Structure 1
Amino acid sequence: NRETNEQLDKENPRWYMKHLGSIAGVKERHIAEDDETALDMAYKACKKLLEKNSGVEIDGIIFCTSSGDYITPPNACILHKMLKLPDEVLAFDFNLACSGYIYGLMLAWALINLGKAKNILLVNSDTHSRYVNRQDRSTRVLFSDGAAVSLVTNSSSENIIDIKCCTSGSGYDKFIIPAGGCRMPRSEKTGIPKKDNSGNIRTLEDIHMDGMGILAFVSSKVPPHINKVLKENNMTLDDIDLFIFHQASKVILDSLTKRLSIDPKKVYSNLEKTGNTVSSSIPIALKDALDEKRVSEGDLVLLSGFGAGLSWGSAIIRI
């Protein structure tokens, strides 16, 4: 389902979507059906990919999601059943949000380099709209539901030049869903809506995002991290043909572009038409960039994700 700024404006006239939309950089979002889960979306993506790559023997599934179908078992195991894969295939979930693609790519790369797998399905799928309060403009204008699957093989992994991942757990509460886990089980109290100083309404079962705190974190941590990754590989910003950052918001993308002193033409964004799809935002943007011929064979691309945890990571790949 498409959810446009015009629809939000009619529903919430006081949100001034023309102004808010320009700041967020999102014109439309894609929301999963009520009975559609991250696993359902992932299965559709995997079927499409495997139809194009028939004959490839999958020996691993890495599923990144923070909106699993069940507390247990992992989505990866159910996806294994749905795809009718043999018992020898390893399958597991891990819970990360906006840095999840980079972390997943690192895991797949490591397993292949260890000789434990040759063809891994890296799945990134989230239905974060389930955790967005419809009266919270700080999150509702940004988040979309989305899924992506990448086939990481022993031959394609040679195009991964380097990956580096980092964590700052002291900022865990900058992006958090307080209730629903073992620390704070759901109850009548956790479902009570409360209004904050900005007029946003949310319950303890919804996403609580410190927007300014996230912006400060990304602006201070990510640019030096990217420069360090490049330096460790004897590269500079000029060597990179295209930068694909997690599609968080226009404010964050603009901040990174400015702080790194990158030519805006070298920074790809599909945020307007996709919204923030959490862990699938980078692979979706990479596919769109390839489809639009923004990069060609041999080009160097830097991917960088950042978000809940707080966590961040970057990868240098060759197309």
Structure 2
Amino acid sequence: MKAFIKAISYYLPEKVLTNDELVNEFPEWSVDKIASKVGINQRHITAEDETSADLATKAAEKLFAENNLDKNAIDFILFCTQSPDYFLPTSACVIQNRLGLQTSCGALDFNLGCSGYVYGLSLAKGLIFAGIAKNVLLLTGETYSKFIHPKDKGNRTIFGDAGSASLISTEGFAEIGHFELGTDGKGANNLMVKSGGMRYPEAINDMTLDENGNPISSDHLYMNGAEIFNFTIEAVPQLVRNTLIKNNLELSDIHLCAFHQANKYMLNFLRKKLKIEEDQFYYYMSEVGNTVSSTIPILLTEAKKEEKLSGNVILAGFGVGYSWGGTVLKID
């Protein structure tokens, strides 16, 4: 038995936050400085009443329309998000109803960030191999913008909101290979929204400013950029090596590298450390930003449009948790 990506699409909120707008708020920065440092020119931001489930639903509707898919064939929904609409019920259940999918469809959420799409592929493949499902709708949706303090110029330059939809099935254009997955929870505090859950349900109101004037707050998204960078340059090269080994491949066998689009500086550092040629490495973040679990499906959608998906494509997701995952897509 095999599992494939059969179709893939994504949705971006209408509202756009440009570098020019950020510079108006933070005049100590320049448009060129932002673009050169993180490789992002603009990012899409959800409206106040727009949620991750809205983004995922619209991505799924695009997927069905663009590929003329039969909604009644969907027998499982997996929804990756760290910004669910509610503590309960599960957003995937709400999405099932909104999309008008059959009630015999299984549905669940899973909470992961930048490794989430790769983990989602592993779950979908497992469902298919176990005979539980034949057509899995894998959704991602994230609204990190709602977690970021308005004065946090660092994170506001990086993160954008988006949703994606992929149909994982017993046939398709990209066969899903073997997986390498990993976790190191000791790094959890380096990328966190501390309050709002059951451990700290109330606002902590402990905001301070770092040496660059960026707010640090338990009530908003906190990222220790230096520690995240150190984790990435240690974990990702080994992730890539182990993923290749599990798929009986060498780096020279890889036609395209589809890494989580964290920021361009980090990706360039990784590319050089791994000795990957530029034409093997695909970037797609300048107009959308770091969209967390949606970066890889967005990248794959755009690469497919450009007819750059062929042969062996390695996927690598990494970030909050710490969590990381890799696999290889085999494309005829």
Q: TM-score range with shorter-chain normalisation?
A: over 0.9
- 1:134 aligned to which of 150, 160, 171: 150
1:213 equivalent to 2:223? Answer no
Distance in 1 between residues matched to 2:173 and 2:182, nearest whole Å? 21
- Equivalence for 1:303: 315
Distance in 2 between residues matched to 1:65 and 1:59, nearest whole Å? 20
Q: Which amino acid aligns with 1:308?
A: V
Distance in 1 between residues matched to 2:64 and 2:173, nearest whole Å? 18
Contact 1:15–1:137 (Cα < 8 Å) also in 2: no
1:132-281 paired onto structure 2 within 5 Å: 132-156=148-172, 159-187=175-203, 190-191=204-205, 193-281=207-295
TM-superposed CA distance for 1:17, in Å, is: 3.9
1:82 equivalent to 2:98? Answer yes
Contact 1:21–1:141 (Cα < 8 Å) also in 2: no
Contact 2:180–2:242 (Cα < 8 Å) also in 1: no
Distance in 1 between residues matched to 2:325 and 2:108, nearest whole Å? 20
Distance in 2 between residues matched to 1:158 and 1:2, nearest whole Å? 32
Instruction: Encode CA deviations 1:177-198: one digit per residue, 9 max, x unaligned.
Output: 11111111123xx245421222
Q: Which amino acid aligns with 1:307?
A: G
Q: Which amino acid aligns with 1:67?
A: S
1:67-78 paired onto structure 2 within 5 Å: 67-78=83-94
Contact 2:44–2:160 (Cα < 8 Å) also in 1: yes
Q: Which amino acid aligns with 1:35?
A: D
TM-superposed CA distance for 1:89, in Å, is: 0.7
Distance in 2 between residues matched to 1:233 and 1:203, nearest whole Å? 42
TM-superposed CA distance for 1:249, in Å, is: 0.6
Superposition TM-score, scaled by structure 2 size? 0.92
Show structure 2 runs of 5+ residues with no match. 1-14
- Equivalence for 1:283: 297
Distance in 2 between residues matched to 1:62 and 1:32, nearest whole Å? 22
- Equivalence for 1:20: 34
SS of equivalent to 2:28: helix
Q: Which amino acid aligns with 2:124?
A: A
- Equivalence for 2:7: none
Q: 1:229 to 1:54 in 2, by over 3 A?
A: closer
TM-superposed CA distance for 1:147, in Å, is: 0.4
Q: Which amino acid aligns with 1:32?
A: T
Q: 1:251 to 1:269 in 2, by over 3 A?
A: same
- 1:54 aligned to which of 69, 87, 105: 69
SS of equivalent to 2:64: helix
Instruction: Encode CA deviations 1:261-312: one digit per residue, 9 max, x unaligned.
Output: 000121100111110001001000100011112224xx21001100110000
Contact 1:109–1:157 (Cα < 8 Å) also in 2: no
- Equivalence for 2:9: none
- Equivalence for 1:99: 115
Q: Which amino acid aligns with 2:301?
A: K
Q: Which amino acid aligns with 2:48?
A: D
The runs of at least 4 consecutive aligned structure 1 residues that moved more than 3 Å come to: none
Instruction: Encode CA deviations 1:3-44: one digit per residue, 9 max, x unaligned.
Output: 111111111101334223311111111111111111111111
Contact 1:59–1:117 (Cα < 8 Å) also in 2: yes
Distance in 1 between residues matched to 2:151 and 2:281, nearest whole Å? 32
Distance in 2 between residues matched to 1:160 and 1:280, nearest whole Å? 18
Which segment drifts farther, 75-84 or 9-18? 9-18
- 2:328 aligned to which of 312, 316, 319: 316
TM-superposed CA distance for 1:233, in Å, is: 2.3
Identity of aligned residues (%): 39
Superposition TM-score, scaled by structure 1 size? 0.95
Distance in 2 between residues matched to 1:293 and 1:273, nearest whole Å? 20
1:4 equivalent to 2:18? Answer yes
Contact 1:193–1:202 (Cα < 8 Å) also in 2: yes
Distance in 2 between residues matched to 1:54 and 1:261, nearest whole Å? 40
